[in-house]
Amino acid sequence: MNGWQKLRAAAFLNIKGFSQRMTLGARVMLIDGNKILLIKHTYVPGWQFPGGGVGPGETVEAAARREVLEESGYALTGAVDLFGIYHNRIATNRDHVAFYVGRQFEQKVKFRPNFEIAEVSWFDKAALPDDVTPATSQRVDEVFDGTPLRDVWGY
């Protein structure tokens, strides 16, 4: 693209983004054999996968890797596989979640509870906690049991 085309495209995309205000997040299921890593936030109920929003200038995969490290202390060391993209209608009709699966990782930082994350723990896929979120439970079924993918994040 030439300079004018880049400027025109940037203006169009910014106007479109301002009017539609779509958001995108990334979540990651870390798998170690039959165990999965879950986190518990301080501000919303239930156990769920680490993840968060994709920032400006950040790729979705980079956001996924960053969020896993920030929220759990684990760093993804190998490839992560994009498992699916879901419409998250829990708080708004304008949010989407890119869901990744990671099997190669190492603990970089020992987790300490903080203002955002209260707990981090490994759970056997067949013994999830009672207060696991519906979306988390659904993704476990999809990844491990081959349940058909839903296009909605949870309910």
CA neighbor of 77 nearest in space, from 54, 112, 107, 53:
107
Q: Return the exposure string of 14-36: e unless at least 16 CB atoms fall within 10 Å of the residue's CB, then b.
A: eeeeeeeeeebbbbbbbbeeeeb
Of the chain, the percentage scoring pLDDT greater than 70 comes to 87
For residue 104, the tally of other CB atoms under 10 A from its CB is 12
Break the chain into its structural domains and give their ranges: 23-145
Q: Specify the pTM.
A: 0.88
Report DSSP state, residue 132: B
Q: Residue 98 and residue 69: Cα distance in Å, rounded?
A: 17
How confident is the model over 44-103, as pLDDT tens digits? 899 999 999 999 899 999 999 999 999 999 999 999 999 999 999 887 788 899 999 999
How confident is the model over 5-19, as pLDDT tens digits? 566 556 655 665 566
Whether the pLDDT of residue 27 is over 90: the answer is yes
Whether the pLDDT of residue 31 is over 90: the answer is yes
* pLDDT, position 5: 58
* pLDDT, position 148: 95
By three-state DSSP, how is residue 120 classified? strand
Which residue type does 52 have? Answer: G
Q: Helix-strand-coil percent breakdown of the chain, rounded to 5?
A: 30, 35, 35
- Which of the following CATH numbers is that of domain 23-145: 3.30.1330.20, 3.90.79.10, 3.30.565.10, 3.90.1150.10? 3.90.79.10
